[in-house]
Amino acid sequence: MKKVAPFGNAAGGKSTLASRLAEVTGLPLYPLDRIQYAEPGIVRPLVMVMSNSRTTVVTLLRSEFAEEVASGFARLGRIPQTDIIWFLDYFVSLSGAESEALLDALADSAAMAFGPPSRPTLNDRGTVDAPPGLAHMCEARNRPGAKGGTRYMDVKMLGADPALREPGGYHPNWREQFTPLHFQPRPDLLADLSEMKAAKAPLMRKLVNTALTKSLGLRKETLAGGVNKFIGRCGDCELTVHVDFGGMLSQLGYTVTLKSTAGQPLASLLSYERLWGTGGRWDYLTEENAPRCITFFAEQLTYLADLTQRLLAEPDAAPDRRGM
């Protein structure tokens, strides 16, 4: 799947469906309401031209990604998410040219999250073409047998059905694609399968609440459906984080919105994982690793705020208000 464009009546669930598809497939998400109605009382024309500012953001993100690769994925390697674990293993399998092409595509896609929302360039069919490197990655990840096993299966399923810890617990089509690596859990995240206990929502709520209110000084609001909203200042940004602990196969999902102190949109529907083309929810959290992972989660939020400010601090990257 390279592109999806949900259509339907108002309040029909299009945005919810699109957001979930973005999480599952890693495709970029372009909510048109946020693009055209970025601010109350202002309707923007649905026209986008690749500007100097966006080019600058792409270049800076590409440099940021290169630094992450050079560090041995110091940040990505700490994220308890099976899509990320898969991505890291996939990345090292690429040739030099393939990895460079993928990083280029990821930077181009990730740039859409920063600055005032803008519309992507559409093809003749009115849809968005995924760059070949990104499209190939999504295709590889969605193949039968690409994931699964104790390395790429979420811990809820591994706990509920122990048969999934062995190749025999899967359909033959999946087993044909498995490698020994599929059944080698990440030792830093899941050291002992026999002692594995998936972290449950009450523990996650407690850890997240402590990390975000006490460590970051954010204030908490509880929304419908058990979603927690955290609001506060982070550097020179106004930070809003929505965190939920639901999901049949996941344990934590989040989005970050950043605005200037004047209320100007700086980044929306942001997560660090989405910058890397995954966009999924954390699903490899155990009672053992959850405390340190949630401490890292708070660090990640600070990093995203800092990254946004650095990206948009460049003269050519500052959001242009003219013509809005």
Q: What is the chain's mean pLDDT, rounded?
A: 83
Distances (CA, A) of 113 to 30, 43, 91, 173: 9, 19, 23, 37
Distances (CA, A) of 259 to 87, 276, 297, 308: 30, 22, 20, 10
Asked, for residue 183, whether it belongs to a domain, the answer is no
Asked, for residue 180, whether it belongs to a domain, the answer is no
Which residues does 291 contact at the CB level (< 8 Å), separation at least 6?
Answer: 207
Q: What is the pLDDT of residue 270?
A: 87
Residues of the chain with pLDDT under 70: 1-3, 7-16, 19-52, 116-123, 126-129, 314-324
Asked, for residue 45, whether it belongs to a domain, the answer is yes
CA dihedral over 139, 143, 148, 154, signed as positive or negative: positive
Longest CA–CA separation in the chain, Å? 61
Q: What is the pLDDT of residue 78?
A: 97
Asked, for residue 288, whether it belongs to a domain, the answer is yes
Asked, for residue 96, whether it belongs to a domain, the answer is yes
Instruction: Give the chain's domain count.
Output: 1
User: What is the chain's length?
Assistant: 324
Asked, for residue 219, whether it belongs to a domain, the answer is yes
Per-residue pLDDT tens over the stretch 208-230? 999 999 999 999 998 988 899 99
Please give the sequence-ordered ranges of beta strands (E in DSSP) within 159-317, or none if there are none. Answer: 219-222, 228-234, 237-244, 253-260, 265-270
Structural tokens at position 202: 């009450």
Q: What is the pLDDT of residue 128?
A: 65
Asked, for residue 117, whether it belongs to a domain, the answer is yes
Asked, for residue 159, whether it belongs to a domain, the answer is no
